[in-house]
Chains A and B, each alone.
Chain A
């Protein structure tokens, strides 16, 4: 009975603190100029991707032999490519592929990585040993090379590229989650939850998961940036989005053959990748500063 009271007291005391910290973090985030610029860039590109059909000036697939490799003009804002397609319109539709690849592959990595990390850290012992060894082995293969090998095995397509990038990004999340769980596991409120006899599943979901989320969210944001570059890289190599579907990476792949004749073909898609990735990185950095417990 006394144990139960202690456990309950522990949890009620812990939760308001977590909430107050969250608010303080949000306020800090709003004061971080870099994070705001980053969020602005990301939102802008998300809107461009969502409203691509409304914003496009041309059909992104329409080829025209009368307008091959035209420089930017009033008609073709960012010029045309080697078979006369409008680069601006293709860029808008390409944003869909890039953002979706970034978000979906990180979602895959989270969906596999966080549960594995929770189990590994919480239960320890043999399960932990087995999971940790496999993760170490996966971490030994540079993730882009792993993604290339997986994408090649699965066959080139956008879906497979997302799957490959997601799997390649999973080990980071397992390791991060596991480390966080180990730190939280010994806290009084978790021991209290044990003491009142709560089932493991409930303890993990109600007491551990919410407390380990901040660093996972920061890592996820930064990984979206890496994933977008990875998708562009795979598409650049021909292992991602397949033609004629627009993707920034594959646009750059053809553009590199026309570097001198049509520089606009490479400037804009690459610039778009750079900006979106910078946006996610700026926002991720700001989030880290805002949520970092060492700061408070």
Chain B
């Protein structure tokens, strides 16, 4: 009888537990609008000088604000004032920008504001200047100084001087104080509400970079109060403030009561009949027009590193939106544009959008088998090598001098044959590009979530020409084989009678990276080229790039801002590795066009037209020279639960949470419905367990007797 009672108690306890939503990871969320998001990594912190990655930006964007922001709903992407009071004023010589900031904007309350008893102080122009000086201070490991480098009067000197700061305690603080007190002519606060930029040369992209988190104002009080811990205690003027950060577990932000007056936009994207795309109004994205922002009370970011549990979390309804992991594609999608019926039953919505990125396979242009060297550049290199050799000799390093002279001589000897060699190597690159089956790669490795890339600019990006078709982006094995023979490698066999063997360097060791490498190997095998894959970690790969040891490698680029310069800079000669031009491509004609294009704005109609023409010419040069095999442009898929509202994907804006909201009652109702435990297997298991234990005890007793 006692045993029966114990068993009944266990069963009752189990049933009672099951009624209390055993699988629900949250508790105590009532009466608040909470947006549940997920991230796959712990962020690097909340210091704006290190806002270089997508994740950091997506979090900082809710806490900090910038002078400008992107319009949330309007397309094409358009800048609008954020902390700025109207747009900028630009001088006739295009070298002075004057920007006024909004009055009455306050930081979130924080103990760092000791003078006001913790009440957030008013934002002034000096806070921007201070933030930009921090960005140019090498002691902060700034990851975003590149946005100002070479453009702002006096800021490069500030960066150089910051490297001379002593590391000794006491002395260091004094020197840093003096450095920050120094006037930088290029960034000045004319009064509390006016900022002026003085440029060394025209910089039409300045307004775009002023919409990036690197340029968000920070208060000196907060930085000095928290010191090195500032990265854990961000204090901004944004719609939310950091409430809790449990590393590798959860980040919680709550509404900032000091947030300035801002309202949900009234203008959205119009319908596009050609693409069968409804207007924002029809999609319900203007339902909250005129409401004060932020619409939500709280943001919760759950950190789940692995894709599988994150996906299951989403399906259970515990996070509002998610991407589709590669391995779960077939459980979510019935076709490239349609969700599975089970997903539709749950009223999950699909958002499909271009992510403005390009994936490519790069050839090292310094490589003797594949590379490209313009005769003018070769002559320049010969001269440089000889000068360096002379210097080395003077410094008493004859071996280095001898080596450099030998290199210069070899290059000089090659000079008359360079045009012919360049042509043959270019033909070899064309052959490889034609043998690369992009649609197949997209099908196998990306579940069809991409389009074959034609050139450096991704589709629908500013200055993208949809009519442009890269003649070497088509898959054509016959033509490829023909070109390979023209390049001197018929059937992949070189003039020496040996098979052409090339080295492919991986940029990491993840499964996806290795699968990509293997795909490339298989494709090249079809035309007779043998690819040897070398596995590297990211740092090993960087080291090989630096030492010029990498021959072929695959990389990607995501747009930082809405200007084609961001993609074309990847081919600009002076940007050679370790700068972003990883292929070390250098063509004087391209460089000349790039320099001209980089100074043109996107707003002035005449300049825009000229820029368009230049983009077309650069596109032609670079696709003809083929320093890359232009691979694919990704399409992103996001699934959104029905209770999440006002979600609209944006390629550049990261301060989007203030526009979004949720229906907590609907979330609660549906997640309860979806998460009722199935108890019968547990009861069966329990009965089996009891039977087994009973038998065991019985046998043991019997055996003991």
Q: Are A and B interaction partners?
A: no
Query: Which positions in B face A, CB cutoff 8 Å?
Result: none
Query: Which positions in A face B, CB cutoff 8 Å?
Result: none
